[in-house]
Amino acid sequence: MAARDLPAADLLPLVSALNADYARAIDDDRLEAWPGFFAEPCVYKITSADNHRRGFEAGVVYADSQGMLSDRVAALRRANVYERQAYRHLVGLPAILGEVDGAVRAETPFLVVRIMRDGTMDLFATGRYLDLLVDHGGALRFRERIVVCDSSRFDTLLAIPL
Amino acid sequence: MTTPAAPRAWPVETLARVPYWVYQDEANYRAELRRIFEGPVWNYVCLESDVARAGDYRTTFVGEMPVIIVRGEDGALHAFENRCAHRGALIALDDAGTAKRFQCVYHAWTYDLEGNLVGVAFEKGSHGQGGMPASFCKAEHGPRKLRTASLCGLVFASLSPDTPPLEAYLGEEVRRRVARVLRKPVRVLGRFVQRLPNNWKLYVENVKDTYHASLLHTFFTTFRVTRLTQGGGVVVSPDGGHHASATLDRRDDSEGAAYREQGLRADQDGFGLADPSLLDTVDEFGDGIKLQILTVFPNFVLQQIGNCLAVRQVLPKGAGAMELAWTYFGFADDTPAMHRRRLKQANLVGPAGYVSMEDGCVGGFVQRGAAAAADELSVVNMGGEGAESQETRATEASVRGFWKAYRRHMGY
Protein backbone atom coordinates (compact mmCIF):
# COMPACT_ATOMS: atom_id res chain seq x y z
CA MET A 1 0.00 0.00 0.00
CA ALA A 2 1.43 3.37 -1.03
CA ALA A 3 2.08 5.89 1.74
CA ARG A 4 -0.40 8.31 0.23
CA ASP A 5 -3.19 5.76 0.67
CA LEU A 6 -2.62 5.46 4.41
CA PRO A 7 -4.86 7.42 6.76
CA ALA A 8 -3.21 10.39 8.47
CA ALA A 9 -3.15 8.60 11.84
CA ASP A 10 -1.04 5.82 10.32
CA LEU A 11 1.25 8.26 8.53
CA LEU A 12 2.02 10.28 11.64
CA PRO A 13 4.43 7.75 13.21
CA LEU A 14 6.08 7.06 9.82
CA VAL A 15 6.75 10.73 9.11
CA SER A 16 7.84 11.31 12.71
CA ALA A 17 10.30 8.42 12.49
CA LEU A 18 11.72 9.77 9.23
CA ASN A 19 12.14 13.22 10.81
CA ALA A 20 13.84 11.68 13.83
CA ASP A 21 16.29 9.72 11.66
CA TYR A 22 16.94 12.81 9.53
CA ALA A 23 17.72 14.99 12.55
CA ARG A 24 19.95 12.34 14.13
CA ALA A 25 21.97 11.93 10.94
CA ILE A 26 22.72 15.67 10.86
CA ASP A 27 23.27 16.15 14.58
CA ASP A 28 25.51 13.06 14.78
CA ASP A 29 27.59 14.41 11.89
CA ARG A 30 26.64 11.59 9.56
CA LEU A 31 26.08 14.06 6.71
CA GLU A 32 26.94 11.43 4.10
CA ALA A 33 23.62 9.77 4.99
CA TRP A 34 21.68 13.00 4.48
CA PRO A 35 21.08 12.76 0.67
CA GLY A 36 19.63 9.27 1.20
CA PHE A 37 16.59 10.76 2.93
CA PHE A 38 15.51 12.18 -0.42
CA ALA A 39 13.93 10.66 -3.50
CA GLU A 40 15.46 11.22 -6.92
CA PRO A 41 14.75 13.74 -8.32
CA CYS A 42 14.10 15.92 -5.29
CA VAL A 43 14.02 19.51 -4.16
CA TYR A 44 15.71 20.77 -1.01
CA LYS A 45 15.66 24.45 -0.25
CA ILE A 46 16.38 26.66 2.74
CA THR A 47 14.55 29.97 2.63
CA SER A 48 12.90 32.45 4.95
CA ALA A 49 9.24 32.92 5.81
CA ASP A 50 9.39 36.36 4.22
CA ASN A 51 10.76 35.08 0.90
CA HIS A 52 8.33 32.17 0.96
CA ARG A 53 5.37 34.49 1.55
CA ARG A 54 6.43 36.88 -1.19
CA GLY A 55 7.04 34.11 -3.69
CA PHE A 56 10.78 34.82 -4.00
CA GLU A 57 12.19 31.53 -5.19
CA ALA A 58 15.89 31.80 -4.39
CA GLY A 59 17.12 29.90 -1.36
CA VAL A 60 20.18 30.12 0.83
CA VAL A 61 20.61 26.50 -0.20
CA TYR A 62 18.91 25.06 -3.28
CA ALA A 63 19.26 21.55 -4.65
CA ASP A 64 17.17 19.68 -7.19
CA SER A 65 18.99 16.35 -7.24
CA GLN A 66 20.60 13.93 -4.81
CA GLY A 67 23.84 14.76 -6.59
CA MET A 68 23.58 18.40 -5.54
CA LEU A 69 22.98 17.27 -1.94
CA SER A 70 26.04 14.99 -2.08
CA ASP A 71 28.07 17.84 -3.55
CA ARG A 72 27.16 20.05 -0.61
CA VAL A 73 28.35 17.41 1.82
CA ALA A 74 31.55 16.89 -0.19
CA ALA A 75 32.19 20.66 -0.24
CA LEU A 76 31.67 20.89 3.52
CA ARG A 77 34.06 18.02 4.08
CA ARG A 78 36.74 18.95 1.58
CA ALA A 79 36.55 22.51 0.30
CA ASN A 80 34.77 24.91 2.64
CA VAL A 81 36.49 26.41 5.66
CA TYR A 82 34.48 27.03 8.81
CA GLU A 83 34.87 26.63 12.53
CA ARG A 84 33.89 23.35 14.08
CA GLN A 85 30.25 23.39 15.06
CA ALA A 86 27.29 21.11 15.61
CA TYR A 87 23.50 21.34 15.63
CA ARG A 88 20.87 19.99 17.95
CA HIS A 89 17.55 19.66 16.15
CA LEU A 90 14.32 19.59 18.13
CA VAL A 91 11.67 18.52 15.66
CA GLY A 92 7.99 18.85 16.50
CA LEU A 93 5.09 16.65 15.53
CA PRO A 94 4.25 16.69 11.83
CA ALA A 95 0.86 17.84 10.64
CA ILE A 96 -0.29 15.54 7.81
CA LEU A 97 -1.99 17.80 5.30
CA GLY A 98 -3.25 15.45 2.62
CA GLU A 99 -1.99 14.50 -0.81
CA VAL A 100 -0.45 16.45 -3.67
CA ASP A 101 0.46 14.80 -6.99
CA GLY A 102 0.76 11.37 -5.42
CA ALA A 103 2.84 12.63 -2.50
CA VAL A 104 1.93 13.09 1.15
CA ARG A 105 2.08 16.71 2.25
CA ALA A 106 3.34 17.33 5.76
CA GLU A 107 4.43 20.32 7.79
CA THR A 108 6.71 20.01 10.81
CA PRO A 109 8.08 22.72 13.11
CA PHE A 110 11.73 22.64 14.12
CA LEU A 111 14.19 24.41 16.36
CA VAL A 112 17.97 24.20 15.93
CA VAL A 113 20.57 25.11 18.55
CA ARG A 114 24.09 25.64 17.21
CA ILE A 115 27.02 24.66 19.41
CA MET A 116 30.34 26.26 18.46
CA ARG A 117 33.78 24.81 19.26
CA ASP A 118 34.29 27.34 22.07
CA GLY A 119 31.08 26.20 23.76
CA THR A 120 28.84 29.02 22.58
CA MET A 121 25.27 27.75 22.25
CA ASP A 122 22.81 29.84 20.27
CA LEU A 123 19.27 29.43 19.12
CA PHE A 124 20.35 29.31 15.49
CA ALA A 125 17.12 28.75 13.58
CA THR A 126 13.45 28.04 14.03
CA GLY A 127 10.97 27.31 11.30
CA ARG A 128 8.96 24.64 9.60
CA TYR A 129 9.65 21.88 7.13
CA LEU A 130 7.20 21.89 4.23
CA ASP A 131 7.48 18.38 2.88
CA LEU A 132 6.23 16.22 0.05
CA LEU A 133 6.82 12.56 0.90
CA VAL A 134 6.79 9.55 -1.40
CA ASP A 135 7.52 5.84 -1.35
CA HIS A 136 11.01 5.41 -2.69
CA GLY A 137 12.49 1.93 -2.75
CA GLY A 138 10.01 0.79 -0.11
CA ALA A 139 10.76 3.61 2.31
CA LEU A 140 9.29 7.03 2.91
CA ARG A 141 11.52 9.72 1.39
CA PHE A 142 11.37 13.47 0.70
CA ARG A 143 10.45 14.39 -2.83
CA GLU A 144 10.57 17.95 -1.61
CA ARG A 145 11.69 19.53 1.64
CA ILE A 146 11.40 23.31 1.83
CA VAL A 147 12.98 24.59 5.03
CA VAL A 148 11.18 27.82 5.85
CA CYS A 149 13.10 29.67 8.54
CA ASP A 150 11.05 32.09 10.60
CA SER A 151 13.73 34.78 10.46
CA SER A 152 15.42 36.18 7.35
CA ARG A 153 18.61 36.82 9.32
CA PHE A 154 21.35 34.21 9.57
CA ASP A 155 24.19 34.43 12.04
CA THR A 156 27.61 34.41 10.35
CA LEU A 157 27.09 31.34 8.21
CA LEU A 158 24.93 28.34 7.55
CA ALA A 159 27.26 25.45 6.82
CA ILE A 160 25.55 22.29 8.05
CA PRO A 161 22.13 21.67 6.48
CA LEU A 162 18.95 22.22 8.50
CA MET B 1 25.96 69.89 11.65
CA THR B 2 29.48 69.90 13.04
CA THR B 3 31.86 67.18 12.01
CA PRO B 4 33.62 65.54 14.93
CA ALA B 5 37.40 65.63 14.89
CA ALA B 6 39.23 62.39 14.16
CA PRO B 7 39.62 60.74 17.57
CA ARG B 8 43.13 59.37 17.05
CA ALA B 9 46.30 59.98 15.05
CA TRP B 10 47.03 57.71 12.09
CA PRO B 11 50.37 56.03 12.82
CA VAL B 12 51.92 55.79 9.36
CA GLU B 13 51.90 57.60 6.02
CA THR B 14 51.89 54.55 3.72
CA LEU B 15 48.61 53.03 2.55
CA ALA B 16 50.22 49.61 3.00
CA ARG B 17 49.81 49.55 6.81
CA VAL B 18 46.58 49.75 8.83
CA PRO B 19 46.33 49.94 12.63
CA TYR B 20 44.00 47.39 14.24
CA TRP B 21 42.33 49.96 16.51
CA VAL B 22 40.45 51.14 13.44
CA TYR B 23 38.28 48.00 13.74
CA GLN B 24 37.81 48.30 17.51
CA ASP B 25 37.72 51.90 18.70
CA GLU B 26 34.23 53.05 19.69
CA ALA B 27 35.01 56.76 19.31
CA ASN B 28 36.39 56.09 15.85
CA TYR B 29 33.23 54.19 14.98
CA ARG B 30 31.00 57.08 16.07
CA ALA B 31 33.16 59.43 13.98
CA GLU B 32 32.79 57.12 10.95
CA LEU B 33 29.01 57.29 11.16
CA ARG B 34 29.16 61.09 11.03
CA ARG B 35 32.07 61.66 8.71
CA ILE B 36 31.49 58.82 6.25
CA PHE B 37 27.95 57.42 6.21
CA GLU B 38 26.26 60.74 7.06
CA GLY B 39 28.94 62.64 5.16
CA PRO B 40 29.67 63.36 1.49
CA VAL B 41 29.13 59.83 0.15
CA TRP B 42 26.40 58.01 -1.75
CA ASN B 43 24.94 55.18 0.35
CA TYR B 44 23.16 52.40 -1.51
CA VAL B 45 19.64 52.13 -0.07
CA CYS B 46 17.44 49.98 -2.36
CA LEU B 47 16.54 49.00 -5.89
CA GLU B 48 14.34 51.29 -7.94
CA SER B 49 12.05 48.32 -8.52
CA ASP B 50 11.52 48.13 -4.72
CA VAL B 51 9.78 51.50 -4.92
CA ALA B 52 8.27 51.29 -8.39
CA ARG B 53 4.92 53.05 -7.90
CA ALA B 54 3.83 56.24 -6.13
CA GLY B 55 3.65 55.56 -2.39
CA ASP B 56 5.87 52.47 -2.48
CA TYR B 57 8.45 52.70 0.27
CA ARG B 58 11.28 50.77 1.88
CA THR B 59 12.94 51.36 5.20
CA THR B 60 16.66 50.85 5.66
CA PHE B 61 19.70 52.55 7.19
CA VAL B 62 22.33 55.06 6.23
CA GLY B 63 25.05 54.06 8.65
CA GLU B 64 22.92 53.65 11.77
CA MET B 65 20.40 56.30 10.77
CA PRO B 66 17.01 54.75 10.00
CA VAL B 67 15.68 56.10 6.70
CA ILE B 68 12.59 55.82 4.53
CA ILE B 69 12.93 55.71 0.74
CA VAL B 70 9.64 56.47 -1.00
CA ARG B 71 8.34 57.13 -4.50
CA GLY B 72 6.44 60.41 -4.44
CA GLU B 73 3.20 61.28 -6.24
CA ASP B 74 5.42 63.15 -8.68
CA GLY B 75 7.30 59.96 -9.50
CA ALA B 76 10.49 61.27 -7.88
CA LEU B 77 12.38 59.36 -5.20
CA HIS B 78 12.48 60.89 -1.74
CA ALA B 79 14.44 59.86 1.30
CA PHE B 80 14.16 61.11 4.85
CA GLU B 81 15.12 60.07 8.33
CA ASN B 82 12.72 57.54 9.82
CA ARG B 83 12.34 59.67 12.94
CA CYS B 84 9.32 61.63 14.01
CA ALA B 85 10.04 65.34 14.43
CA HIS B 86 8.05 65.30 17.66
CA ARG B 87 9.65 62.80 20.06
CA GLY B 88 11.93 60.85 17.75
CA ALA B 89 9.98 57.62 17.35
CA LEU B 90 10.25 55.55 14.19
CA ILE B 91 7.70 56.78 11.64
CA ALA B 92 7.49 53.61 9.54
CA LEU B 93 7.67 50.22 11.24
CA ASP B 94 7.64 47.86 8.26
CA ASP B 95 10.47 46.89 5.90
CA ALA B 96 8.39 47.90 2.93
CA GLY B 97 4.88 48.87 1.94
CA THR B 98 2.72 51.36 0.13
CA ALA B 99 1.48 54.52 1.80
CA LYS B 100 -0.41 57.69 0.96
CA ARG B 101 1.22 59.39 3.90
CA PHE B 102 3.11 58.36 7.02
CA GLN B 103 1.79 58.69 10.52
CA CYS B 104 3.83 58.24 13.68
CA VAL B 105 2.04 55.80 15.98
CA TYR B 106 3.09 57.65 19.15
CA HIS B 107 1.11 60.92 18.83
CA ALA B 108 -0.17 60.64 15.25
CA TRP B 109 1.99 63.34 13.70
CA THR B 110 1.65 62.97 9.95
CA TYR B 111 4.11 63.29 7.06
CA ASP B 112 3.63 63.43 3.31
CA LEU B 113 5.61 61.26 0.92
CA GLU B 114 8.39 63.83 0.77
CA GLY B 115 8.89 63.77 4.54
CA ASN B 116 7.18 67.10 5.21
CA LEU B 117 5.28 67.41 8.49
CA VAL B 118 1.69 68.03 7.41
CA GLY B 119 -0.38 67.14 10.46
CA VAL B 120 -0.08 67.54 14.23
CA ALA B 121 -2.85 65.84 16.21
CA PHE B 122 -4.78 68.37 18.34
CA GLU B 123 -2.59 71.16 16.97
CA LYS B 124 -5.26 73.66 18.07
CA GLY B 125 -5.87 71.82 21.34
CA SER B 126 -9.22 70.58 22.59
CA HIS B 127 -12.17 72.82 23.51
CA GLY B 128 -9.96 75.88 23.23
CA GLN B 129 -7.34 74.55 25.62
CA GLY B 130 -3.88 73.10 25.09
CA GLY B 131 -2.50 72.64 21.62
CA MET B 132 0.69 73.89 20.07
CA PRO B 133 1.75 77.54 20.44
CA ALA B 134 0.57 79.75 17.57
CA SER B 135 4.22 80.30 16.71
CA PHE B 136 4.77 76.60 15.94
CA CYS B 137 5.45 76.24 12.23
CA LYS B 138 5.15 72.73 10.82
CA ALA B 139 7.36 73.62 7.86
CA GLU B 140 10.23 74.22 10.27
CA HIS B 141 9.93 70.75 11.77
CA GLY B 142 10.48 67.48 10.05
CA PRO B 143 12.90 64.60 9.81
CA ARG B 144 16.18 65.28 8.05
CA LYS B 145 15.93 64.83 4.30
CA LEU B 146 18.47 63.05 2.16
CA ARG B 147 19.32 63.61 -1.47
CA THR B 148 18.63 60.64 -3.72
CA ALA B 149 20.21 59.58 -6.98
CA SER B 150 19.65 56.51 -9.09
CA LEU B 151 21.69 54.71 -11.67
CA CYS B 152 20.78 51.57 -13.62
CA GLY B 153 17.99 50.75 -11.15
CA LEU B 154 20.10 51.31 -8.01
CA VAL B 155 19.04 53.99 -5.53
CA PHE B 156 21.58 55.87 -3.45
CA ALA B 157 21.07 58.49 -0.74
CA SER B 158 23.26 61.17 0.75
CA LEU B 159 22.85 63.51 3.69
CA SER B 160 25.50 65.93 2.50
CA PRO B 161 24.95 68.79 0.06
CA ASP B 162 28.62 68.42 -0.87
CA THR B 163 28.41 64.92 -2.37
CA PRO B 164 29.24 65.15 -6.09
CA PRO B 165 26.64 63.92 -8.60
CA LEU B 166 26.45 60.11 -8.53
CA GLU B 167 28.04 59.52 -11.94
CA ALA B 168 30.95 61.81 -11.13
CA TYR B 169 31.24 60.17 -7.70
CA LEU B 170 31.61 56.74 -9.29
CA GLY B 171 33.88 57.76 -12.12
CA GLU B 172 33.47 56.54 -15.70
CA GLU B 173 35.26 53.19 -15.34
CA VAL B 174 33.19 52.00 -12.38
CA ARG B 175 29.95 53.47 -13.76
CA ARG B 176 30.48 51.55 -17.00
CA ARG B 177 30.91 48.30 -15.06
CA VAL B 178 27.68 48.91 -13.12
CA ALA B 179 25.90 49.45 -16.43
CA ARG B 180 27.49 46.29 -17.86
CA VAL B 181 25.50 44.14 -15.39
CA LEU B 182 22.41 46.26 -14.76
CA ARG B 183 21.50 46.79 -18.38
CA LYS B 184 17.79 45.91 -18.19
CA PRO B 185 14.93 45.67 -15.66
CA VAL B 186 15.66 43.31 -12.78
CA ARG B 187 13.49 40.77 -11.01
CA VAL B 188 14.21 40.14 -7.33
CA LEU B 189 14.67 36.42 -6.54
CA GLY B 190 15.23 36.59 -2.79
CA ARG B 191 16.56 38.58 0.14
CA PHE B 192 18.56 37.44 3.14
CA VAL B 193 20.43 39.16 5.93
CA GLN B 194 23.71 37.82 7.25
CA ARG B 195 24.87 38.97 10.68
CA LEU B 196 28.67 39.19 10.80
CA PRO B 197 30.75 39.35 14.00
CA ASN B 198 33.18 41.95 12.71
CA ASN B 199 33.69 45.62 12.02
CA TRP B 200 32.10 46.71 8.72
CA LYS B 201 35.46 47.66 7.17
CA LEU B 202 36.78 44.12 7.45
CA TYR B 203 33.99 42.99 5.16
CA VAL B 204 34.49 45.83 2.68
CA GLU B 205 38.21 45.07 2.57
CA ASN B 206 37.46 41.39 2.02
CA VAL B 207 35.26 42.17 -0.98
CA LYS B 208 37.93 44.43 -2.48
CA ASP B 209 40.69 41.94 -1.81
CA THR B 210 41.34 40.14 -5.10
CA TYR B 211 44.32 38.36 -3.54
CA HIS B 212 42.33 36.20 -1.12
CA ALA B 213 39.60 34.95 -3.42
CA SER B 214 41.27 31.87 -4.85
CA LEU B 215 43.25 31.10 -1.68
CA LEU B 216 40.52 31.22 0.98
CA HIS B 217 37.70 30.00 -1.23
CA THR B 218 38.83 26.52 -2.09
CA PHE B 219 35.54 25.66 -3.71
CA PHE B 220 36.38 28.03 -6.55
CA THR B 221 39.90 26.84 -7.09
CA THR B 222 39.03 23.20 -6.68
CA PHE B 223 36.56 23.48 -9.51
CA ARG B 224 38.80 25.91 -11.38
CA VAL B 225 36.22 28.65 -11.40
CA THR B 226 38.95 31.16 -10.60
CA ARG B 227 42.62 31.13 -9.88
CA LEU B 228 44.97 34.05 -9.60
CA THR B 229 46.72 32.59 -12.60
CA GLN B 230 43.57 33.22 -14.65
CA GLY B 231 43.27 36.46 -16.62
CA GLY B 232 41.64 39.50 -15.16
CA GLY B 233 42.44 42.63 -13.26
CA VAL B 234 41.18 45.30 -10.96
CA VAL B 235 40.01 48.83 -11.67
CA VAL B 236 40.24 51.32 -8.81
CA SER B 237 38.43 54.66 -9.08
CA PRO B 238 40.68 57.73 -9.00
CA ASP B 239 39.61 58.60 -5.44
CA GLY B 240 40.34 55.03 -4.34
CA GLY B 241 36.91 54.34 -2.88
CA HIS B 242 35.27 52.24 -5.57
CA HIS B 243 36.55 49.25 -7.46
CA ALA B 244 35.65 46.57 -9.95
CA SER B 245 37.55 43.34 -10.35
CA ALA B 246 37.12 40.97 -13.24
CA THR B 247 38.04 37.37 -13.89
CA LEU B 248 38.16 36.21 -17.48
CA ASP B 249 36.90 32.84 -18.58
CA ARG B 250 40.21 31.51 -19.77
CA ARG B 251 41.32 28.08 -18.66
CA ASP B 252 44.71 26.50 -18.87
CA ASP B 253 45.38 22.98 -17.63
CA SER B 254 48.85 23.95 -16.43
CA GLU B 255 47.45 26.64 -14.16
CA GLY B 256 47.42 24.41 -11.09
CA ALA B 257 51.23 24.28 -11.19
CA ALA B 258 51.69 27.68 -9.51
CA TYR B 259 49.48 26.53 -6.63
CA ARG B 260 51.19 23.15 -6.31
CA GLU B 261 54.66 24.71 -6.30
CA GLN B 262 53.69 26.83 -3.33
CA GLY B 263 51.91 23.99 -1.53
CA LEU B 264 48.67 25.95 -1.39
CA ARG B 265 45.61 24.42 0.16
CA ALA B 266 43.55 25.87 -2.63
CA ASP B 267 44.84 23.27 -5.05
CA GLN B 268 42.98 19.98 -4.84
CA ASP B 269 42.82 18.26 -8.18
CA GLY B 270 40.49 15.38 -8.81
CA PHE B 271 37.51 16.68 -6.85
CA GLY B 272 34.51 16.55 -9.16
CA LEU B 273 30.88 17.51 -8.72
CA ALA B 274 28.29 14.73 -8.77
CA ASP B 275 25.87 17.24 -10.34
CA PRO B 276 27.88 19.72 -12.40
CA SER B 277 24.74 21.63 -13.45
CA LEU B 278 25.64 24.05 -10.63
CA LEU B 279 28.48 25.41 -12.75
CA ASP B 280 26.61 25.46 -16.05
CA THR B 281 27.30 29.12 -16.75
CA VAL B 282 26.22 31.08 -19.80
CA ASP B 283 28.20 34.13 -20.96
CA GLU B 284 25.08 36.32 -20.76
CA PHE B 285 26.99 39.59 -21.06
CA GLY B 286 28.91 38.36 -24.10
CA ASP B 287 32.30 39.61 -22.98
CA GLY B 288 33.94 36.54 -21.47
CA ILE B 289 33.99 38.02 -17.95
CA LYS B 290 33.15 35.16 -15.64
CA LEU B 291 33.17 37.13 -12.41
CA GLN B 292 32.86 40.78 -11.66
CA ILE B 293 32.87 42.15 -8.13
CA LEU B 294 32.26 45.86 -7.78
CA THR B 295 32.13 48.11 -4.74
CA VAL B 296 30.92 51.65 -4.21
CA PHE B 297 32.25 53.45 -1.15
CA PRO B 298 31.18 52.97 1.56
CA ASN B 299 28.43 50.34 1.62
CA PHE B 300 27.64 48.75 -1.74
CA VAL B 301 28.62 45.57 -3.57
CA LEU B 302 27.42 44.45 -7.00
CA GLN B 303 28.22 40.85 -7.76
CA GLN B 304 28.26 38.80 -10.96
CA ILE B 305 29.53 35.33 -10.22
CA GLY B 306 28.76 33.40 -13.36
CA ASN B 307 25.01 33.92 -13.71
CA CYS B 308 24.50 34.56 -10.01
CA LEU B 309 23.70 38.25 -9.62
CA ALA B 310 23.24 40.05 -6.33
CA VAL B 311 23.61 43.36 -4.59
CA ARG B 312 24.88 43.47 -1.03
CA GLN B 313 24.37 46.36 1.36
CA VAL B 314 26.79 46.78 4.26
CA LEU B 315 25.06 47.91 7.46
CA PRO B 316 27.33 48.80 10.39
CA LYS B 317 25.98 47.67 13.79
CA GLY B 318 28.51 48.92 16.31
CA ALA B 319 32.29 48.72 16.14
CA GLY B 320 32.36 44.93 16.27
CA ALA B 321 29.33 43.83 14.27
CA MET B 322 27.54 44.40 11.00
CA GLU B 323 24.80 43.07 8.82
CA LEU B 324 25.05 42.22 5.18
CA ALA B 325 21.74 42.53 3.32
CA TRP B 326 21.72 40.34 0.21
CA THR B 327 19.30 40.83 -2.68
CA TYR B 328 19.54 38.11 -5.32
CA PHE B 329 18.16 39.09 -8.68
CA GLY B 330 17.73 38.08 -12.29
CA PHE B 331 16.20 39.97 -15.16
CA ALA B 332 12.50 40.42 -15.92
CA ASP B 333 12.98 38.73 -19.29
CA ASP B 334 14.91 35.67 -18.05
CA THR B 335 13.98 32.40 -19.74
CA PRO B 336 12.84 29.56 -17.45
CA ALA B 337 16.24 27.89 -18.03
CA MET B 338 18.13 31.04 -16.97
CA HIS B 339 15.85 31.47 -13.96
CA ARG B 340 16.61 27.92 -12.84
CA ARG B 341 20.33 28.45 -13.49
CA ARG B 342 20.31 31.50 -11.20
CA LEU B 343 18.51 29.56 -8.43
CA LYS B 344 21.18 26.87 -8.61
CA GLN B 345 24.10 29.27 -8.73
CA ALA B 346 22.70 31.12 -5.70
CA ASN B 347 24.31 28.20 -3.80
CA LEU B 348 27.61 29.96 -4.42
CA VAL B 349 26.79 33.02 -2.34
CA GLY B 350 25.05 34.14 0.83
CA PRO B 351 25.37 32.70 4.33
CA ALA B 352 25.55 29.13 2.99
CA GLY B 353 27.46 30.03 -0.18
CA TYR B 354 30.11 27.63 -1.39
CA VAL B 355 32.20 30.68 -2.18
CA SER B 356 31.08 33.32 0.28
CA MET B 357 30.69 31.13 3.37
CA GLU B 358 34.28 31.84 4.37
CA ASP B 359 33.87 35.59 3.90
CA GLY B 360 31.23 35.56 6.61
CA CYS B 361 33.75 34.09 9.05
CA VAL B 362 37.10 35.55 8.13
CA GLY B 363 36.25 39.07 9.33
CA GLY B 364 35.44 37.56 12.71
CA PHE B 365 38.77 35.73 12.68
CA VAL B 366 40.54 39.09 12.26
CA GLN B 367 38.33 40.77 14.87
CA ARG B 368 39.18 38.03 17.38
CA GLY B 369 42.79 37.50 16.32
CA ALA B 370 43.66 41.17 16.64
CA ALA B 371 41.69 41.69 19.88
CA ALA B 372 44.82 42.60 21.85
CA ALA B 373 46.69 44.27 18.98
CA ALA B 374 45.10 47.73 18.79
CA ASP B 375 48.39 49.48 18.09
CA GLU B 376 49.90 46.82 15.85
CA LEU B 377 49.71 47.23 12.08
CA SER B 378 48.28 44.94 9.45
CA VAL B 379 50.19 44.55 6.19
CA VAL B 380 48.51 45.47 2.91
CA ASN B 381 51.52 45.34 0.63
CA MET B 382 50.74 42.98 -2.26
CA GLY B 383 51.36 44.79 -5.52
CA GLY B 384 53.21 47.67 -3.84
CA GLU B 385 51.95 50.67 -1.91
CA GLY B 386 49.79 52.42 -4.50
CA ALA B 387 46.08 52.30 -5.20
CA GLU B 388 46.11 52.34 -8.98
CA SER B 389 44.33 49.91 -11.27
CA GLN B 390 46.33 46.77 -12.02
CA GLU B 391 46.27 44.06 -14.66
CA THR B 392 46.52 41.32 -12.06
CA ARG B 393 44.48 40.15 -9.11
CA ALA B 394 47.58 39.19 -7.10
CA THR B 395 47.45 42.67 -5.59
CA GLU B 396 45.87 44.57 -2.72
CA ALA B 397 45.59 47.81 -4.71
CA SER B 398 41.84 48.14 -4.23
CA VAL B 399 42.17 47.54 -0.47
CA ARG B 400 44.69 50.37 -0.34
CA GLY B 401 42.24 52.40 -2.41
CA PHE B 402 39.68 51.92 0.34
CA TRP B 403 42.12 53.26 2.94
CA LYS B 404 42.99 56.18 0.71
CA ALA B 405 39.32 57.19 0.56
CA TYR B 406 38.69 56.31 4.21
CA ARG B 407 41.58 58.43 5.49
CA ARG B 408 40.52 61.37 3.38
CA HIS B 409 36.97 61.26 4.77
CA MET B 410 38.15 60.74 8.34
CA GLY B 411 40.90 63.35 8.26
CA TYR B 412 43.62 60.75 8.92
The total number of residues shown for chain A amounts to 162
CATH fold label, A3-149: Nuclear Transport Factor 2; Chain: A, (3.10.450)
Q: Is the pTM of this model over 0.80?
A: yes
Please give the pLDDT value at position A1: 55
Give the residue from chain B lying closest to A152, CA to CA: B192
What was the pLDDT predicted at B253?
47
Q: Is the pLDDT of residue A95 over 80?
A: yes
Q: Does the beta carbon of B222 lie under 8 angstroms from any beta carbon of chain A? A: yes
Q: For B301-325, write each residue's pLDDT tens digit.
A: 999 999 999 999 999 999 999 999 9
pLDDT in tens, A106-151: 999 999 999 999 999 999 999 999 999 999 888 999 999 999 999 9
- Does B352 sit within 8 Å of A46, measured CB to CB? yes
| Cβ under 8 Å to B: A residues 119-138 | none
Nearest to B360 among A63, A74, A156 (CB): A156
Query: How confident is the model over A45-85, as pLDDT tens digits?
Result: 999 999 999 999 999 999 999 999 999 999 999 888 889 99
Mind telling me how many Å the CA of A9 is from chain B's nearest CA? 36
H or E element at residue A149: strand A139-149
Chain A from 43 to 102: CB within 8 A of any B CB: 46-48, 50-51, 56-68, 70-72, 74-75, 78-83
SS3 A4: helix
- The answer on pLDDT for B229 being more than 80 is no
Q: When comparing pLDDT for B38 and A80, which is higher?
A: B38
Residue pair B145/B115 in contact (Cβ under 8 Å)? The answer is yes
Question: Distance (Å) from the C-alpha of residue A121 to the closest C-alpha of chain B?
Answer: 15
Q: Report residue B223's pLDDT band, with 50, 70 and 90 as the boundaries.
A: low
| Chain A residues within an 8 Å CB radius of B270 | none
Sheet holding B117-119, edge to edge: B102-103, B110-111, B117-119
Task: Residue B251: name the closest of B234, B232, B272, B230 by CA.
Answer: B230
**Is some CB atom of chain A closer than 8 A to the CB atom of B344?**
yes
pLDDT range class, residue B138, cuts 50, 70, 90? very high
Question: CB–CB of A48/A151 below 8 Å?
Answer: yes
- Which of A71, A72, A80 lies at the smallest CB-CB distance from B358? A80
Spatial contact of B255 and B248, defined as CB atoms under 8 Å apart: no
The answer to whether the CB atoms of A51 and B192 lie below 8 A apart is yes
Does the model's ipTM exceed the 0.90 cut?
A: yes
Candidates B60, B186, B189, B192: best to mutate against A (most CBs of A within 10 A) is B192
Best interface-test mutation with B: which of A76, A80, A122, A150 has the largest number of B CBs within 10 A? A80
The answer to whether residue A161 scores a pLDDT higher than 50 is yes
Tell me what the mean pLDDT of segment B168-180 comes to: 97
Mutate one of B222, B347, B348 to test the A interface: name it (highest A CB count within 10 A).
B347
Cβ–Cβ gap B193/A70 under 8 Å: no
